Each structure stands twice: as structure tokens, then as C-alpha cells.
Amino acid sequence: MAPRNRELTVRALARVEGEGRVDVTVREGRAERVELNIYEPPRFFESFLRGRHFLEPPDITSRICGICPVAYQVSACNAIEQACELELDDAVRDLRRLLYCGEWIASHVLHIYFLHAPDFLGLPDSIALARRDREAVERGLSLKKAGNAILDVIGGRPIHPVNVRIGGFHRMPTTAELIPLSDELCTALDHAVATVRWVSSFDFPDVELDHDLLALHDDSSYAIDDGEIWSSTGLRCTADEFPKHVVERQVPHSTALHAELDGRRYLTGPLARYSLKSSQLAGVSAQTAADAGLGAQCRNPYRSIVVRAVEVVYAVEEALRIIDRYERPAEPFTAGPPIRTVGHGVSEAPRGLLYHRYEFDPTRSIRAAIIIPPTSQNQAAIEHDLRRAVDGNLMPADDDLTTLCERTIRNYDPCISCATHFLTLTVDRR
């Protein structure tokens, strides 16, 4: 029988990016206190952006994350290009989306194969997974390599790409340089479909979330690199209006700010994107989603692994389409100084919506910067989900309940260093 009062502790949560802990106190069978404690020291990026030149944020903010640097570069570019009133060439936008597809593939595959899948297979890590199913791990590595190859060819290197700049790129690749990518991506498409098939065979606990969902929308495609902000409760707004709806606040137990959407907790990321825009998937990704048993919406956090795998299929297909129609533009970038004092930019990082805001002074330097990463926006939803997992839970062993808490968190692929940032779990059963 489960103890009425319990205290759980995970000293170091593995298989998430960054460091943090969870404190759970159960009193009389109810979760009295559930706190996701992000204790990584603050990283002060917004402070040291002050006084920098308006062209610098893509290089500086990409350092916030080694897994999703492109997201930081693109949101920064979108915000600053808005302030400079720059219109980008379609081919330049396309190439930026291609670069972003590379990051989605690399980041999602990392989480699916190396961080998340072991949870469903009762394995401690991917080394154990490689012993049991070498083929799966090799497939994962090959798929991640394909994502990295896109980043390398277009960005100049797979981590913290150097080729991105405000208004476009420093240098546009030639058509011939993209051809080897096409060959690699054709193989990757088979691997991506096999990945969906593999993860959809896992056992998923029956859980449904009721959070409000927030994602970018673009009429013409599944939004990645830019778009209008849509929510499942009917909000439609532009990046400029984001601060009117999303308010950040400090909580005592976390160095990452919590965020609320019009006063409510909400979720951003793969589940939100898929649930709001699954009708925009077409071709192989739509077919594999249907074959995997995903409906028009997916609100089961455990099934996020299937949604990520479907998004990998989409990113590979989209990358192939972009390479297919690519013609090298005459100019790699459009240039111009800030015209407006303030610029807002958004894009869909692998973990969810990433917002940047910059304010400029007359010398074209940054006066103020605000960066709102997806994991920080998702903290309240994660805590809510943890509370539900623990509340009235009859698992007799603390170890099992602790494992459940860790799984609950890993479902969200938190990037704590981005949020600043996560995880040791303490459960206090009184």
C-alpha cells in the first residue's frame, strides 16, 4: 500500500539538457508541493546584449544553446529585421528554413533516440539500448548526422553556425553544394519513417493534457521559421503583440522565469504545433502520422515522442523540397540599419515558441533585450503535469514514483540551460 505521506528525491535527473531538481511533498496522499527547481545560475544574456551593435545578436544568442542555436539566430534575425524593415528574398527565406529543418532533425532525433526512448523500453540509457537493439541506435545516429550535415553545409558548422546574419547569409551555397545533401536526405527519409514506426509501437500511459496550446501559424506551410501566433483557445496575434498576452514572473524556486498566457498556464512545442496545425502536414509525414495512430490532435505528453518523429519526417521532406527548388540568389543578404526603435521576432525552436525583443538607441546599439525561451514558458505546464502524476498515486515504492516524475519531465524535452536554466527531485512525504 502507498504511504500517505512521502518525500521523493532525484539527485540528478539524467537525459535532460541542463541541471535542476524536483521537490515533491505528499501529505495524506495529496501532492502538497510540486516544484520544478531550476537552479542553474542565471546567464545574463539579456544584460550583456546591452550596448552591442544591432548586427551582433545572432552570434551572441546562438551561444545560449548548443542544441538549438539556429532557433536563437532566426528569432534574433526576425526581431531585428522587423526593426530594420527589411524584406528578404524568397530564396534567402527558403534557405533559412532549410537550415532550421536541419536543426529540427538533429535536435528531435537526439531526444527521441538518446534521451526519451530508453524510458519506454525500461532501459537506463542508450548504451543499454545499443546492446539490445544496435540497429535502432545506428539508425538514430545516421539520422542525426543528416541533420548535422544540413547545418554544416549551410551554416558552416553543425553547432553555432557562422553563416547566418541579419538580412540573410554571409554566403549562399551553390546548387552543386546542396546536391550531396539530397542524397543523404533520401536515405534519411526512410530512416525517419522507420523511426515513427518504431516509436509508435511503444506503450503509452493514458494521459490527456488540458493546457492551452500555443504555436506559430503560417497559411502556406507548417510554421517553423516565422508566423502568426495562434492558440487553441482562439488567440491570433503577431510577434509585436506577444508581450501583451504573455507575462513572465519570478518564482522563488527557479532561476528561470515562469510565463502565463492571458493569466493561464499553457504549452508550446511539438504537441501544440501538431494539435494546431496537423492539417498542414501532407505527403509522407501525413501518411506516417495516420499510420502511427495520431488523430488531428495529440494531447498525450508520452506520445510527444511520436509527434517529434513525425516532425522529423516533415523536416526531411521539407528540406528535400527546398533543395529541389533552390536557385542561388544574386545577393546573399539585404542590409539596412534599424528604422524602428523596437523589433519583435518569433520562431518555432524544436522545443517550442522562442520570442526575442530588441530595443535600439540612435547609435544602432541595443538598449534592451528580452528573450523568452520555450522551456521557461512550459514550466507551469510541467509542474501541473507532475502534480497530477503524484496526486493520489498509489505506487507503493518511492523509487517507482520518482521514476514516473522523471519520465513526466522528459516528455517535455526541457532545455534547462536555455530557460536558465534544471534537475534533482526531492519528495517530502509528511
Amino acid, single-letter form, for residue 157: R
C-alpha cell, 408 = 513526466
Distance of closest approach, residue 352 Cβ to other proteins, in angstroms:
16
Task: Enter the C-alpha cell of residue 109.
Answer: 532525433
Q: Is-contact 374 269, C-beta < 8 A?
A: yes
Decide whether 107 or 278 has the Cβ nearer to other proteins. 107
- Spatial CA neighbour of 34 closest among 299, 426, 349, 430: 426
Q: What share of the chain is helix, strand, coil (3-state, %, to 5)?
A: 45, 20, 35
Write out the binding residues for other proteins, residues 30-49 only, by CB under 8 A. Answer: 40-41, 43, 48
Q: How far is the CB of 334 from other proteins (least distance, A)?
A: 16
Binding to other proteins, residues 215-274 (CB under 8 A)? none
Q: Minimum CB separation from other proteins for residue 55, in Å?
A: 10
Cα 142–chain centre separation: 21
Q: Using CA atoms, how far apart are residues 406 and 400, in angstroms rounded to an integer?
A: 10
DSSP, collapsed to helix, strand or coil, labels residue 374 as helix
Is residue 417 a contact point for other proteins (CB under 8 A)? yes
Please list every residue from 47 through 86 that binds other proteins, using CB under 8 A: 48, 52-53, 56, 59-60, 63-67
The least distance separating other proteins from the CB of residue 154, rounded to whole angstroms, comes to 9
Kindly state the smallest distance separating residue 344's Cβ from other proteins, in Å: 23
Residue 421 binding other proteins, by CB under 8 A: yes
Nearer to other proteins, 294 or 369 (CB): 369
**Residue nearer to other proteins on the CB measure, 165 or 328:** 165
The binder of other proteins chosen from 134, 157, 236, 264 (CB under 8 A): 157
CB atoms within 10 A of CB 234: 7
Task: State which of residues 15, 21, 96, 303 lies at the interface with other proteins (CB under 8 A).
Answer: 15
Q: Does 412 bind other proteins (CB under 8 A)?
A: no
- Cell numbers found for residue 159: 553547432
User: Half-sphere exposure (CA, 13 Å, Cβ side) for 209?
Assistant: 31
Which of 8, 10, 17, 215 is the binder for other proteins (CB under 8 A)? 17
Q: Is 122 left (phi over 0), alpha (psi -120 to 50) or beta?
A: left
Q: Please pick, from the candidates 22, 91, 105, 110, the single residue that binds other proteins as defined by CB under 8 A.
A: 110
Residue among 171 and 430 whose Cβ is closer to other proteins: 171
CB of 268 to other proteins, least distance (A): 19
Q: Tell which residue, 303, 337, 311, has the closest CA to residue 53.
A: 337
For residue 252, what are the contacts with CB-CB under 8 A and spacing of at least 6? none
In terms of DSSP H, where are the helices of 292-354? 304-325
From 8-16, 203-211, 259-267, 345-353, span contacting other proteins (CB under 8 A)? 8-16
Query: With contacts defined by CB under 8 A, how many residues of the chain interact with other proteins?
Result: 47
Site for other proteins in 323-362 (CB under 8 A): 332
Quote the CA–CA distance of 228 and 113 in Å, as a whole number. Answer: 31
Count of other CB atoms within 10 angstroms of residue 397: 10
Collapsed DSSP state (helix, strand, coil) of residue 166: coil
Beta carbon nearer to other proteins, 199 or 320: 199
Site for other proteins contains 113 (CB under 8 A): yes
Integer Cα distance of 390 and 36 in angstroms: 13
89 binds other proteins (CB under 8 A): no
> What's the Cα-to-Cα distance from 270 to each of 118, 306, 318, 378, 408, rounded to whole Å?
19, 10, 17, 12, 15
Q: Least distance in Å: CB of 116 to other proteins?
A: 9
Applying CB under 8 A, does 103 fall inside the site for other proteins? no
Binding site for other proteins (CB under 8 A): 11-12, 14-15, 17-19, 40-41, 43, 48, 52-53, 56, 59-60, 63-67, 106, 110, 113-115, 125-127, 141, 156-157, 159-160, 162-163, 165, 169-171, 332, 415-418, 420-421
